[in-house]
């Protein structure tokens, strides 16, 4: 007799709830106490599951942190890269680029993602997989997506780009590097306000278009 579908889905849902509860506790504890400062007994207690359940779901403390990094960074990436139509004509390109950049800044410059980034950078020697997970789901994904968009815009004559990967890297860092470095080194107090972000993005897009705007 086949297993009742409802029972299977209840089981899966209970397991899924535990999975999410553990990840939520991991986010709270790792971001506050750091990787080494997080105790797995306390993490299980905060998740309201047994330590055995934590290890059944995630295998190890390091694997749990890798999944936390991937989950948080992927969720942020989804918010940046949600479906946006390409611009239809050259006059729409500056606004399209500014909107992308402002969305990316809004998403990346949140205290929890910034703290995650500081944490994995501080631990890159001991736990290189953590930082690599953040790199792949974060800047690498952003730049791949940008390179693909720039390739399409070049084909349509809306941008003029020889090497889409170089252009994507330059655009990404013209936008992200200054605010991200300030936040990494000066803390959340250095986060630019909405007006400063808009001005910063406008400057970045202007410089990018001077190099990659459509040929007349």
The footprint of its own copies on this chain (CB under 8 A) covers a number of residues equal to 39
Q: Tokens representing 44?
A: 């299980």
Q: Does 118 bind its own copies (CB under 8 A)?
A: yes
Q: Does 122 bind its own copies (CB under 8 A)?
A: yes
Q: Does 137 bind its own copies (CB under 8 A)?
A: no
Q: Does 215 bind its own copies (CB under 8 A)?
A: no
**CA gap 27, 38 in Å, rounded:** 10
Q: Does 148 bind its own copies (CB under 8 A)?
A: no
Q: Which is nearer to its own copies, 123 or 156 (CB)?
A: 123
Binder of its own copies out of 80, 134, 147, 201 (CB under 8 A): 134
Q: Does 135 bind its own copies (CB under 8 A)?
A: yes
Q: Shortest approach of its own copies to residue 24 CB, angstroms?
A: 20
Give residues 18-47 in contact with its own copies (rule: CB under 8 A): 34
Q: What is the DSSP string of 180-207?
A: HHHHHHH-GGG---HHHHHHHHHHHHHH
**CA gap 89, 40 in Å, rounded:** 54
Q: Which is nearer to its own copies, 50 or 181 (CB)?
A: 181
Q: Which is nearer to its own copies, 45 or 186 (CB)?
A: 186
Please give the backbone phi and psi of residue 8, each rounded to the nearest 5 degrees, phi first: -60, -40
**CA gap 86, 149 in Å, rounded:** 8
Contacts of the segment 207-212: beta carbons below 8 A, 24+ positions apart: 207/174, 208/97, 208/167, 208/170, 208/171, 208/174, 209/93, 209/94, 209/97, 211/167, 211/170, 212/150, 212/159, 212/160, 212/161, 212/167
Q: Does 184 bind its own copies (CB under 8 A)?
A: yes
Q: Does 120 bind its own copies (CB under 8 A)?
A: yes
Q: Shortest approach of its own copies to residue 5 CB, angstroms?
A: 43
Q: Does 177 bind its own copies (CB under 8 A)?
A: yes
Q: What is the DSSP string of 78-117?
A: HHHSS--PPPSSGGGHHHHHHHHHHHHHHHHSSHHHHHHH
Q: Which is nearer to its own copies, 26 or 54 (CB)?
A: 26
Binder of its own copies out of 29, 131, 149, 153 (CB under 8 A): 131
Which residues, at least 6 apart from 150, have a Cβ–Cβ distance to it below 8 Å? 159, 161, 164, 167, 168, 171, 212
Interface residues with its own copies (CB under 8 A) are: 34, 115, 118-125, 128, 131-132, 134-135, 139, 163, 166, 169-170, 173-174, 176-178, 181-182, 184-187, 203-204, 206-208, 210-212
């Amino acid at each position: 007799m086949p297993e009742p579908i409802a029972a299977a889905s209840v089981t899966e849902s209970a397991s899924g709830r535990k999975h999410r509860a553990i990840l939520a506790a991991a986010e709270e504890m790792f971001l506050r106490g750091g990787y080494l400062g997080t105790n797995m007994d306390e993490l299980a207690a905060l998740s309201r599951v047994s330590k055995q359940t934590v290890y059944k779901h995630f295998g190890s403390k390091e694997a749990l942190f890798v999944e936390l990094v991937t989950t948080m960074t992927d969720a942020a990436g989804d918010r940046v890269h949600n479906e946006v139509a390409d611009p239809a004509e050259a006059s729409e390109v500056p606004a399209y680029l500014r909107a992308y950049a402002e969305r990316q800044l809004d998403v990346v410059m949140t205290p929890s993602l910034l703290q995650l980034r500081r944490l994995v950078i501080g631990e890159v020697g001991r736990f290189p997989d953590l930082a690599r997970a953040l790199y792949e789901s974060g800047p690498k994904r952003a730049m791949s997506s940008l390179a693909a968009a720039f390739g399409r815009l070049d084909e349509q004559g809306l941008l003029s780009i020889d090497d889409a990967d170089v252009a994507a890297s330059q655009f990404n860092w013209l936008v992200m590097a200054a605010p991200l470095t300030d936040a990494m080194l000066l803390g959340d107090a250095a986060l630019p306000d909405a007006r400063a972000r808009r001005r910063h993005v406008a400057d970045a897009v202007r410089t990018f278009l001077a190099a990659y705007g459509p040929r007349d």
